[in-house]
Amino acid sequence: MLGLLQGCATTAGLLGMGVEKQDESVASNTPACEPDSGKNPLAKWSSLSGSLLTRPGGIAPAGQPDNKRIELITPVAVTAIANTLYIADAGQRAILKFDRGTQTVIRFASVPELNTRVGLFVDRAYTLYIADPATSSVTVLDIDGNLLQTISDISELPQPVAVATSTTGNEVFVGDELAAHILVFNRGGSVVRTIGSGTSADNYFQSVTAITSGPDQLYVSDKLGHQVHALAPDGSYRYAFGKDELLSPGAVAIDGHNRVYVADNGDSTIKVFRGGQLEAVVGARDDSIGLGFQVISSLWESDGLMFVADAGRASIDILRVVPPCQ
């Protein structure tokens, strides 16, 4: 069962370890586009790691009387809106809520069954969706951490690992790893259709590793198929890409310039596509950015920033999305 823990709303600066370290070389006023954006679509910005300062009065985990800090142990998923980050930490068995304004964190929700596979999604109303394969369900929490809804269908949704909502927010897409399809739910929690359950090439996934939704397109990462599928909002098939470039595609995100970012766990890089064509590879050994990813478990883009959960390095990298010139 998901136990919910709420923190007190206070403000405090983060001192010492765990600070969100911003790269001072990044100018505050960035140009509309940068000439090398095709080669380097992401730039260093800041990062989260180590011991994070909690808000005064926050609730400490059981057996840990010192509630002044929370250690970032194994971040396996991240989602963000404005200055708020939600981080699924498998080591803490909890969803952490980090405020980039006050540089403080609280334990937003306790998830006893949390392991290394989980999907997070936050909508514009700060509603948080947690796809948890360990419980075969999607838990929906409001802005204060109160339980709004539990979505489940054990026969069709045995291992949900990814979740997203439509642009209008009227539909919830849940990707299941074991069933290799996407169930579409309405706001009432009823299944309205299934995507990817057919047998033809036009509607069949070998696996569903991650999903993300854009203004007019849904992207499905398929690890076993070594590619990403692009779908219309209604789920009808459009095209696939990355077959020749992706080794083991995982997390996927899209920026405001219609570039698709795919975490490739085969070589610990982020591969950037536009129009189905590979434009750049971020995080390679000879990459001038020098990110050195180990295990990229989650990607999320918000307000011109790319959030990268690296479970191997126990960190959240926050990268600036460099606008393209074309």
Tens digits of per-residue pLDDT, 41-62?
Answer: 999 899 999 999 997 644 445 5
Identify whether the C-beta of residue 42 lies closer than 8 Å to the C-beta of residue 269: no
Separation CA 214–CA 231 (nearest Å): 10
Domains of the chain: 3-321 (2.120.10.30)
φ/ψ (deg, to 5) at 106: -135, 160
Q: How large is the average pLDDT for residues 131-144?
A: 95
Judged against a pLDDT cut of 60, whether residue 9 lies above it is answered with no
- CA 146, distance to chain mean position in Å, is 21
Which of 77, 43, 89 has its CA nearest to residue 255?
43
More confident residue, 4 or 128: 128
Helix (H), strand (E) at residue 78: strand 75-81
For tokens 């990462």, name the residue: 221
Mean pLDDT for all residues in the chain:
85
Could you tell me which residue, 27 or 222, shows the higher pLDDT? 222
Q: How far apart are CA 302 and CA 293, in angstroms?
A: 20
Nearest CA to 41 among 284, 311, 273?
273
Per the CB < 8 A criterion, the answer to whether 204 and 198 are in contact is yes
Per-residue pLDDT at 204: 75
In this prediction, residue 132 carries a pLDDT of 95
Which own/partner pairs from 265-269 qualify as long-range (CB within 8 Å, at least 24 positions apart)? 265/295, 265/296, 268/293, 268/294, 268/295, 268/296, 269/293
Please tell me the predicted confidence (pLDDT) of residue 287: 67
Provide the pLDDT for residue 289.
64
Question: What confidence tens digit (pLDDT) does each residue in 187-245 have?
Answer: 888 999 999 876 555 557 999 999 999 888 999 999 999 999 999 988 889 999 999 99
| Residue 24 reports pLDDT greater than 70 | no
What pLDDT was estimated at residue 310?
Answer: 95
Rounded-to-integer distance, Cα 262 and Cα 269, Å: 8
Q: For residue 264, is pLDDT > 90?
A: yes
pLDDT level of residue 6 (50, 70, 90 thresholds): very low
pLDDT score of 185: 94
Give the CA dihedral 241, 243, 246, 249, nearest 10 degrees: 70
pLDDT at 14: 32
Q: What gap in Å lies between CA 35 and CA 174, rounded to an integer?
A: 38
Q: Are 185 and 171 in contact (CB under 8 A)?
A: yes
In tens, the pLDDT along 150-163 reads: 999 889 999 999 99
Measured CA to CA, the distance from residue 182 to residue 236 in angstroms comes to 12
Among 222, 216, 141, smallest CA distance to 175 is for 222
Q: Are 179 and 189 in contact (CB under 8 A)?
A: no
Which tens digit of pLDDT belongs to each residue from 271-322? 999 999 999 999 877 666 667 899 999 999 999 999 999 999 999 999 999 9
Confidence of residue 18 (pLDDT cuts 50, 70, 90): low
Cut 0.95: pTM above it? no
Give the span between the Cα atoms of 258 and 50, in whole angstroms: 33
Confidence of residue 269 (pLDDT cuts 50, 70, 90): very high
User: pLDDT band at 7, cuts 50/70/90?
Assistant: very low
